[in-house]
Structure 1
Amino acid sequence: MQTENSLLTDLKNTFRTGGMTVKLIFVNILVFIAIGILEVVSSIIGGVPGTLVLDLTDVVFALFTPIREFIVKPWGLFTSIFAHYSFIHLLLNMVFLYSVGRIFEQFFSAKRLLYTYILGGIFGGLLELIAHLILPSVGGTMVVGASGAVMAILVATAFYQPKLTVSIWGIFNMRLIYLALIFILVNLYNAGMGTKDGTAYFAHLGGALLGFLSVRNPFSMNNIINRGIRIGDGLVSVFKKRKTNSGNFRYSKEKAGATKRFKTDEEYNMEAKKRQERIDAILDKISKSGYESLTKEEKDLLFRQGNQ
């Protein structure tokens, strides 16, 4: 009993302190366990395709690519990016997520990693839907897995730091940008050839596209990830406000005559330019001497910029 409690405590501490990469891995594993439990229950009650429990698993976690099914089950666009139906699929995606996610978090915030993962998975799902709509014979009728989301993180990191070199299985070194390009080309080839091996190649390419777009002017307010963060924060704020109001009926009121001064475009652009120059200098330092060579002030600045 004490050992079990110790293990549970260790897992909680790992989840709490492990960063967003570890949190995403935990969520994927928990969803996999939930799916496994549903499958065990289904087998106990004599489950075959068409059984309520198995159908429920697909309805909740899978993205249905036939447009008629997607319209009535649109949530699969989100839930599918955390779901895996095979252990090998889960293992490969989580190993890759851990590898590239840790690198990503050296340059950007945990929140940005989360939104890149989610939006990358959604972009991948949308491209898979479009491909199936244009070419119904493409791919399968259901898609699950974090591959598109992980692809987004890989491509974002690679295109943000094209000179960054990583070790491949401890055997040889390669620039991350080359690894990303290899994955993109392989997926382009298989998607173009109509390869039918159960892999959602268009979902991978959709994730790659999001990853590329996410690092175009990454600190601009119009950046796709920054827009997503603002929308997400707004929705969370509305939800919290409703919850607070429904609980105690409190409300707040701005002080009369209070005004807020907004920056002009010229002021904003000037500050953004100076900020970007400072960030570029820090990134050059990382490329030459590694992340650990940064001062605490430089690390804090990099973190704050990634969180904007």
Structure 2
Amino acid sequence: MMELLQNLKRGYKAGNIVQRLLYWNVAVAIIFIIFKAFYQPVYLFLVDNISLNSNFEIFIYKPWTLITYSFLHADFIHLLFNLLMLYFVGMLFETFFSKFQLLAVYVFGGIFAGMTYLIASNFLDINSQVVGASGAIMALLFAVTTYRPNMNVRLALIGNVKVWYIAAFFVFLDIVQIPMSNAGGHITHLGGALFGFIYIQCLNKGFDMGKFFVWLNDLFSPNKKKYTNFKNVYTNNKNGQTSSQPKKNQKDEVQIQIDVILDKISKSGYESLSKEEKEFLFKQR
């Protein structure tokens, strides 16, 4: 048992931000499974104080639920689907952005999605509670889609699909299912999608919400290592886009190699990269 815990601890420390978020979601799920099996009153108390209630009069006394609801899941299938989506979308997001930017979109996207749910629920007379990381994950998906809509993603049994097709499919499903069931959950997804779009628009105008988490890291990091000079986005000047380099016409060999890899991703999808190319791109984050 101790060896298992040590392996999990090492895996958490060595993992990237996506893997750490997966750990957090699984850890919360395990805690709730234990309480549900052995301490029902505690389980019900925690669910009531962690899930986001559509009743504003209840929410006003539990404002923290705007954050906590996204770490709780309704059942195993709900958790499993969100873990798979978080891993898939998170890897795509980290191809272009830093871990601080991913954390910003995930956390703030979840909050924005929750606020969308609260506002819409009062207009549509929805009386329910919502849980799950779907809104935050949709924010990540739509941030990638807004930034690189024509990027190819390789799906099993289907082949290469443009990422905006995937995003549009999920939006279509959510809109169609609002009148049918779980209206609050689908509205939350749409709120997360809207935030992902807004985030990229803000980023393009020079406002990066990820800097908040850079500041937190600098504040609490034991070794006080600074990350404030991270690149916002890796871009390709061939497409007429701005570069994060101080001088547009002075590309070093690293940036040239990054551009070649990004071109390959756009044409054939992330999975087309070799192991060496993936490792190289990972080291540039």
**TM-score tier after normalising by the smaller chain length:** 0.7 to 0.9
Is residue 2:110 matched to residue 1:131?
A: no
Q: Pick closer, same or farther for the CA change 1:86–1:300 going to 2, 3 Å.
A: closer
10, 13, 16: which is aligned to 2:13?
A: 16
Q: Equivalent residue for 2:139?
A: 152
Cα distance in 1 between the residues matched to 2:112 and 2:277: 34
Aligned partner letter, 2:33: G
Q: Distance in 1 between matches of 2:157 and 2:99?
A: 27
The answer on 1:143 being equivalent to 2:140 is no
Give the distance between the partners of 1:134 and 1:217, measured in 2 at CA. Answer: 28
Cα offset for 1:151?
0.7
> Could you tell me how far 1:203 is from its partner in structure 2?
0.3
* Alpha-carbon distance change, 299 to 144 in structure 1, aligned in 2, over 3 angstroms: closer
Separation of aligned partners in 2, 1:216 and 1:93: 26
2:32 corresponds to which residue?
Answer: 35
Aligned equivalents of 1:217 and 1:67: distance in 2?
Answer: 29
Shift of 1:107: 1.0
Whichever residue aligns with residue 193 of structure 2, its letter is A
Taking the aligned partners of 1:299 and 1:197, their CA distance within structure 2 comes to 38
* DSSP-derived class of the 2:119 partner: helix
> 1:132 and 1:288, CA in 2 relative to 1: closer, same or farther beyond 3 A?
closer
TM-score normalised by length of structure 1: 0.71
How far off its partner does 1:88 sit? 0.7
Looking at structure 2, the residues matched to 221 and 9 of structure 1 have their Cα atoms a distance apart, in angstroms, of: 42
Q: How many residues align?
A: 253
Offset of 1:296 from its aligned partner? 9.3
Measured after TM superposition, the shift of residue 236 of structure 1 is 6.7
Q: Secondary structure at the match of 1:218?
A: helix
Going from structure 1 to structure 2, the CA distance change for 1:74 and 1:217 (only over 3 Å counts) comes to closer
Q: Indicate conservation of the 8 Å contact 2:32/2:43, yes or no.
A: no
CA apart distance, 1:230:
3.6
AA of the residue aligned to 1:216: Q
Match of 2:155 in 1: 168
* Unmatched tracts of structure 1, length 5 or more: 44-50, 242-271, 304-308
Following the alignment from structure 1 to structure 2, what is the Cα–Cα distance between the partners of residues 177 and 198?
Answer: 23
Q: Distance in 2 between matches of 1:153 and 1:171?
A: 22
Contact 1:164 1:287 in 2 (8 A): yes
Q: Residue 214 of structure 1 aligns with which residue?
A: 199
3-state DSSP class of the match of 1:118? helix
- 2:87 matches 1:98: yes
Residue 59 of structure 1 contacts residue 73 of structure 1 at CA under 8 Å; is this kept in 2? no
| Equivalent in the alignment of 2:232 | none
Secondary structure at the residue paired with 1:275? coil
2:266 alignment partner in structure 1: 287
Q: CA deviation at 1:10?
A: 2.5
Indicate the SS of the match to 2:160: strand
> How far has the Cα of 1:219 moved from its partner?
5.3
Amino acid at match of 1:148: G
Cα distance, 1:176 vs structure 2:
1.1
Q: Determine if contact 2:151/2:267 at 8 Å carries over to the other structure.
A: no
Q: 1:299 to 1:57 in 2, by over 3 A?
A: closer
Counterparts in 2 of 1:20 and 1:234: CA distance versus 1, 3 Å: closer
Quote how far apart the aligned CAs of 1:288 are: 4.4
SS state at 2:181 partner: coil
Q: Is the 8 A contact 1:38 1:54 kept in 2?
A: yes
1:81 partner letter = S
User: Is 1:86 equivalent to 2:75 in the alignment?
Assistant: yes
Is the Cα contact below 8 Å between 1:63 and 1:76 reproduced in 2? yes
Is 2:260 the counterpart of 1:275? no
Indicate conservation of the 8 Å contact 2:152/2:267, yes or no: no
Alignment CA distance shift 1:73-1:93 (3 Å): same
TM-score, normalization by structure 2: 0.77
1:178 aligns with 2:161: no
Superposed CA deviations along residues 243-302 of structure 1, whole A, max 9, x for unmatched, are xxxxxxxxxxxxxxxxxxxxxxxxxxxxx945376789564464247666869998766x
